[in-house]
Structure 1
Amino acid sequence: MGNVFELLDPRIREALSELGMTEPTGTQQKAIPAILSGGHVLLIAPTGTGKTESALLPAFDLLMRMSSEEREGIKVLYITPLRALNRDMMKRMRWWAGRLDLNIDVRHGDTTTHERRRQALKPPDILITTPETVQAMLMGSRMRENLKSLAMVIVDEVHELASSKRGTQMAIALERLGRYTEFRRIGLSATVGTPGEVAKFLAGTGREAQIVEVKLAKSLDFHVTYPETIDSDKPLSKKLLTDPDIAAQIRTMIDLIKRNRSTLMFVNTRQSAEAIGARFRKLDQAIAVHHGSLSKEARIEAEDSFKDGKVNALVCTSSMELGIDIGDIDHVIQYMSPREVSRLLQRVGRAGHSIGETSSGTIITINEDDSAEAWAICRRASAGQIENINLYKKSYDALANQICAMALEYGDISATYVYETVCKAYPYAQLSRKEFDRVLQQLVEERLIFLSPEGLIGRKAKTRTYMYENLSMIPDEKRFDVYDVITGRMIGTLDEAFVVNFADVGAIFITKGEMWRIVEVTEDRVRVEPIENPQGEVPSWTGEEIPVPFSVAMEVGAIRRTVAEMAGSPEADIVRYLTSAYPTDEATARSYVRYVKKQVAGNYPVPSDQLVTVEEEERTIMINACFGHKVNETLGRVVTALLASRFGGGVAMEIDPYRIKLELPKRIRAADVAKMIADLEPIFVEPIIEKTLKNTLLLKWKMVHVARKFGALSRDVDYERISMEKLLNVFEGTPMYEEAVNEILHDKLDIDNAIKVLEKIRSGEIKVLTGRLSPIGDAGFTGGRELMAPESADRSIVLALKERIMNDHVILFCLNCKQFSSKRKVKDVEERPVCPLCNSRLIAALKPWEKEEADLVKKAAKNKLAEPEMVKVKRVYRNGNLVLSHGRVAVIALASRGLGPESASRVIGRQREDEEDFYRDILKAERDYVRTRRFWA
């Protein structure tokens, strides 16, 4: 085929010549003829290969060939998942609009009333918008009329929408549009593992979309490195108030940025973005920070600073995967493993100025597991083994939303007509009429719609209000605007969970890479002042961590197994094998070899893709399982439920992709847990999971959000004041309850692969061994390590902790006479507390809120108490025995946050060289408590 630009209108070819675009890219050469042929097309191509123009040039051609009468109304709808992409697209299309005399406009939530009215009266030829704004337009009679002449819909980043409820809602909206007019559907997608699923999502049931897939036009160059610490990292770590290994990572980042003109640095969480930004500022290194919780102005400022060359590095989260134009990028840094193959391809694909040029990326890892994970992902990326898109199917809350939307759109409409329209959307292809009718009935009960005996759906007084409040399927989480009291400028937002847990007046945290102290918290606003202080809390955005897929974690297990099998060979031979098999350096490979060899040298089995190990240390059970976040979360919840039913008490759980850590109320042998896993029938996994979800905060959170989408709870309902019991009583057995459970199963758990694992254990394909806590078992849970505060805390942090504890209050209570009780600061407690009434040293040190425990001890002396109350009494006596044995040292440990008698005993019992190490151990125990407290049943 010749130059495909020849197929386009001469005026477009002239414009292309002016831009110096005389030769099409490989993507454009394949895609333009397919789109011009008139069918539905899914274009799958890497970033930076001319994908956007591949869709826009045929759209321009379509408009140029129409007469002025034919161009009445909106002809092309360009839908993007982000407002930032809307803004970016408008910038790119402004020149084309002027050159071809086209009317192109943008519409989203921030569009002014005046602009909306102008668009309604004089519709543009091309309208750039978001999925949510499509919903709003279908509610307006004039805009709906303008859309009836639609000829083409382009869905940008369609893969991103396909795996979310926003996309499910949009799929129905496209079918609603399709009831008015026939239009072509063009989808633009990054490389995905299941192109056929995305094509079906785009086209809808009963239609075919031609898949045009362009393989990587650019070669990708990956390098994985776990930075070694050098002498200069020690003074740097003191300056940054962090550990030398983190200082080495920062130093490596700075070296890479200096070597390149422009560097995009991806991180997996907003916490990391903020922490790195703060570190760079402390070193007077210019860097911009970009993530979704910053204000629009702050994000635009970061984009423009980078594009204009004011800063040569931009640290960002996944928001920058989606092709926002920020100029040429020389190099991409990925901090920590990118977790998924698709993310690595999207992120590193952003580097390289021109088509055909190599895109280079460096993955800086933070430990040996992280290195192996990055190796596995790089290998899978090179082999084209990309994760499948996990579509939402039959979402009841999105369905409820769209039933209400159609009631509003039509006035009175047949329920059968609505059902048939919905089923044309691919996510609802398997929706039964019975399921549809249950959702319909729920909406009738919530008084959102009217259903006549003849089967007509009608709107009610609150339908319009409901729809305006629920244009989006993104959960309504309360956001607090953060304002600088010095400048009056809005600097970002914090979510409700962070404000509830951390945002006391005087608390210090980081946002936009800078330190702030909270001076006031109101109903919707947090006012702050800038501060220079190393002990800040990094804002905590819940549920943000990217889960490691089952397939990647299993490959990490296979790498472990291979290195373990080679453990008898010379280290140099194993290092040579790793550096030839994976894109890594000798130092990183050597570190990994020593990591595995340490396990082997201690006669510990090496957990792998074929071996699960169950290890014990006091009341901790560590299950080493290379199955990824979702499978480990599933298995962990099942095992936790079985253990909790056996003990009748709470079990704390923490997971990473390679471990399930359990803290038990009493000691249990690893062999008993291993037997429990081996005996577990795979068919029981789902029923156990559903039963255990019933009393979790996670289900409560989901039920509140789903109920809001059904109109059963108002948007401003106070989440904290709703009891779980009340929610279950009202919603169990309804579509709302089922949807909340299904959403958890879809987003957080992986029942199918958990069942596969259990089947492999039963068949012997995966073995289970037991033992004591091993080096690999003890090496986990560093993925969430704070960049801001060292794991082995700096002296200034230790001293601050000591000062806080010394000024905390305790209640000293005599367990002998039960008459003496005294509240005082820890620093005022004697080295060996003695009761002034009876001279006994058996004195408990209770936290101020444990006063009722002292009352229970008094009651127990006179009456027999119920079992739960006796458990509390026994804890008070264990507390007193600790103080009897260790004096004020025990009082200090018991006054710490989250430390009960058992954990305090472990901290006190450790061998250490000096007092500061004692406080470091307390700090570690407090952090562990904060990380795991949400799992206590």
Structure 2
Amino acid sequence: MKEHLRRVRWIVVDEVHELATDERGVQLSIALERLLELTGVEFQRIGLSATIGEPERIAQFLAGTNRKISILRSDEERGLEISVGSVSPTHKDQEEASGLGLPASTVARARKIQQLIEAHKSTLVFTNTREHAEALASQLRALGTTSVRVHHGSLSRELREEAEKEFQEGRLRGLICTSSLELGIDIGSVDFIIQYTSPRETTRLVQRIGRSGHTLGGTSRGIILTTSPDDILESAVLISRAKQGRLERPIIHEKALDVLAHQIIGILLQERRMTAEQILHLVQRSYPFRELQPDELDDVIHQLDELRLIRKFGDTFSPRNPKAIQYYFENLSVIPDVQKYTVFDFFRKRRIGTLDQDFVARRCVSGAEFILHGQTWRVISVDEEKLHVEVEAAPPSLTAIPGWEGDMIPVQMDVASEVGRMRRTLALSGELDGVLEDPEREKASATLALQAKQAKIPSDKLVLVEGFENSVIVHTCAGNLVNEALANAMAALFGSRLGSNIATQVDQYRFALIFPRPVSAYMVAEEFGKLTPNDLETMINDTVEHSDLFAWKHWHVLRRIGAVSRAAEYKARQARLLVDIFKNSIANRETRRELFAEKLDIEGAKKLLSMIGSGDVLLEAVQDAGQCTPLALPLLDRIVPHGLLRPAVEETSIIEVIKSRLLSTKLRLLCINCGKWDGIRTVDNLQEQIRCPKCRSTLISATYLSNDALPRIIQKKINGGKLQAEEEKEWMTAWRSAGLLQTYGKKAGLVMAARGVGPATATRLLRNRTGGEDDLYLSILRAEREFERTRMFWD
């Protein structure tokens, strides 16, 4: 391979903007400098992209330092026809919605998509999440549409290629996809694009709409189908920016120390032996590491030495094989491996969905509540070995968070600020210079008019602090990452003062602080107004490493530098311990860098606080008068989806569910008197007095179906054999079980059919019965819950 690489004279990177803005690009930048060491001569680097916010910066990224750059811009003018669309449910939509069990607005949007697909020859429908893609496909099938398929990264390669082929051949009229079809996969001619909800970035909008009319001089045509007034205005802003060519500024990961650690091992495997100075010279040629300091490199080398991945000979370093080789090839990917946990309904003992490992690790502790499939669930237990989460239905709660919460594309501060400006303009004049058609403009205006009746309209010039029940919503048109930084700082501030955890929820136009009890919005506004840029930075720096997100990211950084095995599974408690152990290491610094680059816009938050301090942005407060304002609803719907949540299971319904499950459970019955009878019975078919059909004894033990050890133990005991300690324990359990069945009959079988309820617990439940049958079922449920909560601590 080396000999082939020595002859490389050109490197072409397609869709270079995609690589430049994540850690894969950092990896590539050093890899190109390593390739130069092989070729011995400069090769030409060519980057291609139709959507670059700052071409000069991306060119510098690809070229590295001290190299000549040429930027060629195409003279081709492609037309761009994009509109903002919305729907109003008809009577027919309402009728069908009732039959399908869906909101009428959802059916109306699905029908609009169906009509648009049928009106064009080939249509791509882009969604921002896999969940939306699957839901839309299901809704279209329910409406009778058969010529569409789904395409996203979770599907097998075979299924994706099959869908692409059918679309290319014209057998499919539409493909519902995520970013999986955003880039240059050849799927033939596309004449129309539907973007379901705002694409959240101008770059993404241009990329997606650009998949249609993909010919020289062609016109790209499409529509953004919106779902809310915020969605309407955000889409209008993105379209306006797209037509002006104002794309987002690319964020390049600079001095990513975990990537550097991995590439140093690659350099040493390639060169065999190098000094720190030689490594620094090579690495500094790459754009992301152009400002790397010698002491920063020394810290990374020291960490690799401590992990016994390299060894020192005088002033040179070499890899420790085979450990270094294994580490290098196991960590070629910088994308974290994320497992899925299966969520089980504790009462019905059935699967209800899945959660990402990072969500479980950060959010799922016993008693925590989250939303999945429109229902609020309370966590009973988490099994990290089986990757299971046991839950029970819970009433709607302001502290529950969406289980599907994931890494949505963040809306940047300047886009959110323009939406705020548009709100202000629309509220004052009712006009928006032809950006929106009348129906969409009127919908946005109607919401702002309702808002104005209850409170001020938050905008780019006004922050509104709103109290509602036990939440305080801070309306800031500042974007996801700014709001994330502000929410973290304010939660830390009030958490320390109140001595309790303050939950948060964030979107691009507001953040919520969720308190254990109602708190005055005026008090929160006063404290927010006092927060200075320096206070904010200090607070976040002091508290960030105590967060669950920090522990999660820190774990993955440790994997990438070789401190944690690639095969190791994430465990929250161990991850927190590792944060303390590696507190002064490069892993801590790198985790902070990643969080501040990807999750928190500290500079943007400081800018907003400065504008509040100077009076350029006003700060107002309003306390609820029994209802929230219209502009608070989008965030409150994420905390408790009003109109979407089904009621929690009523107690009478719970009893019926438990009763049905227990009565249908099968038990294995064994005679401990003669040892000759071994049968299986459902609890419902048990007699009040159970006898052995062989010897007529009532000494019958009940156990679980797969307990194949018990029959052998019974025979050994009957034959006078000496039992081992574990066998004696099993025999005594069987003896107590038989005593219960003798005394209580079928009721004992019912109780012992419960999960985790052995003879000792069953005896307590049966002896302490004071009420009727329903009370017994509720006692069994409580015992099952207790078992689930405590079994991780059992031997």
Q: Same fold (TM over 0.5)?
A: yes
Partner of 1:401: 262
Shift in alpha-carbon separation, 1:581–1:442, aligned structure 2, 3 A: same
Shift in alpha-carbon separation, 1:803–1:712, aligned structure 2, 3 A: farther
Q: Secondary structure at the match of 1:548?
A: coil
Partner of 1:377: 238
How far apart are 1:179 and its partner, in Å? 1.4
Q: Are 1:587 and 2:439 an aligned pair?
A: yes
Q: TM-score, normalised by structure 2?
A: 0.75
Partner of 2:123: 263
Distance, in Å, in 1 between the alignment partners of 2:513 and 2:76 is 44
Taking only the aligned residue pairs, the percentage that are identical comes to: 37
Distance, in Å, in 1 between the alignment partners of 2:341 and 2:331 is 19
Distance, in Å, in 1 between the alignment partners of 2:224 and 2:770 is 52
In structure 2, which of residues 197, 200, 206 is the aligned counterpart of residue 345 of structure 1?
206
Alignment of 1:813-824 (within 5 A): none
Q: Greater shift after overlay, 393-402 or 286-295?
A: 286-295
Kept in 1, the 8 Å contact 2:480–2:507? The answer is yes
Shift in alpha-carbon separation, 1:410–1:631, aligned structure 2, 3 A: same
Alignment of 1:163-562 (within 5 A): 163-181=21-39, 182-214=42-74, 217-286=77-146, 287-478=148-339, 495-496=356-357, 543-562=406-425
Partner of 2:643: 792
Q: What RMSD over aligned residues (CA atoms) do the two structures have, in Å?
A: 3.5
Partner of 1:146: 4
Shift in alpha-carbon separation, 1:509–1:392, aligned structure 2, 3 A: same
Partner of 2:552: 701
Kept in 2, the 8 Å contact 1:348–1:360? The answer is yes
In structure 2, which of residues 415, 422, 426 is the aligned counterpart of residue 563 of structure 1?
426
Q: Secondary structure at the match of 1:615?
A: strand
Alignment of 1:662-741 (within 5 A): 662-720=513-571, 722-741=573-592
Which amino acid counterpart does residue 499 of structure 2 have in structure 1? G
Partner of 2:474: 623
Kept in 1, the 8 Å contact 2:111–2:143? The answer is no
Kept in 1, the 8 Å contact 2:478–2:508? The answer is yes
Q: Are 1:599 and 2:451 an aligned pair?
A: yes
Shift in alpha-carbon separation, 1:661–1:145, aligned structure 2, 3 A: same
Which amino acid counterpart does residue 172 of structure 1 have in structure 2? I
Shift in alpha-carbon separation, 1:785–1:295, aligned structure 2, 3 A: farther
Distance, in Å, in 2 between the alignment partners of 1:480 and 1:307 is 36
Distance, in Å, in 2 between the alignment partners of 1:548 and 1:215 is 30
Alignment of 1:60-209 (within 5 A): 143-181=1-39, 182-209=42-69
How far apart are 1:666 and its partner, in Å? 2.9
Partner of 1:743: 594
Which amino acid counterpart does residue 158 of structure 1 have in structure 2? V
How far apart are 1:828 and its partner, in Å? 3.3
Which amino acid counterpart does residue 278 of structure 2 have in structure 1? Y
Q: Secondary structure at the match of 1:179?
A: helix
Distance, in Å, in 1 between the alignment partners of 2:404 and 2:552 is 15
How far apart are 1:494 and its partner, in Å? 8.3
How far apart are 1:227 and its partner, in Å? 0.8
Shift in alpha-carbon separation, 1:665–1:846, aligned structure 2, 3 A: farther
Alignment of 1:636-647 (within 5 A): 636-647=487-498
Kept in 1, the 8 Å contact 2:555–2:575? The answer is no
How far apart are 1:646 and its partner, in Å? 0.6
Deviations 1:35-62 (CA, angstroms, capped at 9, x unpaired): xxxxxxxxxxxxxxxxxxxxxxxxxxxx
Shift in alpha-carbon separation, 1:714–1:350, aligned structure 2, 3 A: same
Distance, in Å, in 1 between the alignment partners of 2:324 and 2:772 is 59
Deviations 1:389-412 (CA, angstroms, capped at 9, x unpaired): 000000000000000111111222
Kept in 2, the 8 Å contact 1:273–1:317? The answer is yes
Distance, in Å, in 2 between the alignment partners of 1:376 and 1:764 is 26
Q: TM-score, normalised by structure 1?
A: 0.64
Q: Are 1:614 and 2:462 an aligned pair?
A: no
Q: Secondary structure at the match of 1:466?
A: helix
Kept in 2, the 8 Å contact 1:153–1:186? The answer is yes
Shift in alpha-carbon separation, 1:446–1:330, aligned structure 2, 3 A: same
Shift in alpha-carbon separation, 1:681–1:494, aligned structure 2, 3 A: closer
Partner of 2:693: none
Q: Secondary structure at the match of 1:781?
A: helix
Distance, in Å, in 1 between the alignment partners of 2:248 and 2:480 is 15
Q: Secondary structure at the match of 1:224?
A: strand
Which amino acid counterpart does residue 146 of structure 1 have in structure 2? H
Which amino acid counterpart does residue 444 of structure 2 have in structure 1? Y
Deviations 1:732-779 (CA, angstroms, capped at 9, x unpaired): 111011101110111111001000000000000011001124423432
Distance, in Å, in 2 between the alignment partners of 1:685 and 1:851 is 44
How far apart are 1:323 and its partner, in Å? 1.3
Deviations 1:253-312 (CA, angstroms, capped at 9, x unpaired): 111111101000110111111111222222331211111111111111121121112211
Deviations 1:501-547 (CA, angstroms, capped at 9, x unpaired): 99xxxxx999xxxxxxxxxx998999xxxxxxxxxxxx966633111
Distance, in Å, in 2 between the alignment partners of 1:330 and 1:387 is 26
Q: Secondary structure at the match of 1:683?
A: helix
Kept in 1, the 8 Å contact 2:276–2:315? The answer is no
Distance, in Å, in 2 between the alignment partners of 1:591 and 1:715 is 51
Shift in alpha-carbon separation, 1:430–1:824, aligned structure 2, 3 A: farther
Deviations 1:854-879 (CA, angstroms, capped at 9, x unpaired): xxxxxxxxxxxxxxxxxxxxxxxxxx
How far apart are 1:823 and its partner, in Å? 9.0
Q: Are 1:634 and 2:634 an aligned pair?
A: no
Which amino acid counterpart does residue 571 of structure 2 have in structure 1? E
Kept in 1, the 8 Å contact 2:122–2:192? The answer is yes
The alignment of Structure 1 onto Structure 2 pairs a total of residues equal to 637
Q: Secondary structure at the match of 2:91?
A: coil
Kept in 2, the 8 Å contact 1:237–1:244? The answer is yes
Distance, in Å, in 2 between the alignment partners of 1:465 and 1:158 is 29
Distance, in Å, in 1 between the alignment partners of 2:152 and 2:644 is 28
Deviations 1:783-805 (CA, angstroms, capped at 9, x unpaired): 8699xxx95259xx669778764
Deviations 1:873-916 (CA, angstroms, capped at 9, x unpaired): xxxxxxxxxxxxxxxxxxxxxxxxxxxxxxxxxxxxxxxxxxxx
Distance, in Å, in 2 between the alignment partners of 1:361 and 1:240 is 28
Distance, in Å, in 1 between the alignment partners of 2:785 and 2:639 is 30
Deviations 1:159-207 (CA, angstroms, capped at 9, x unpaired): 0000010110010000000112221101112322211110001101111
Q: Greater shift after overlay, 233-242 or 386-395?
A: 233-242
Shift in alpha-carbon separation, 1:559–1:808, aligned structure 2, 3 A: farther
Deviations 1:798-854 (CA, angstroms, capped at 9, x unpaired): 6977876455789xxxxxxxx999899999369xx9xxxxxxxxxxx989758999x
Kept in 2, the 8 Å contact 1:659–1:780? The answer is no
Shift in alpha-carbon separation, 1:766–1:850, aligned structure 2, 3 A: farther
Q: Greater shift after overlay, 626-635 or 821-830?
A: 821-830
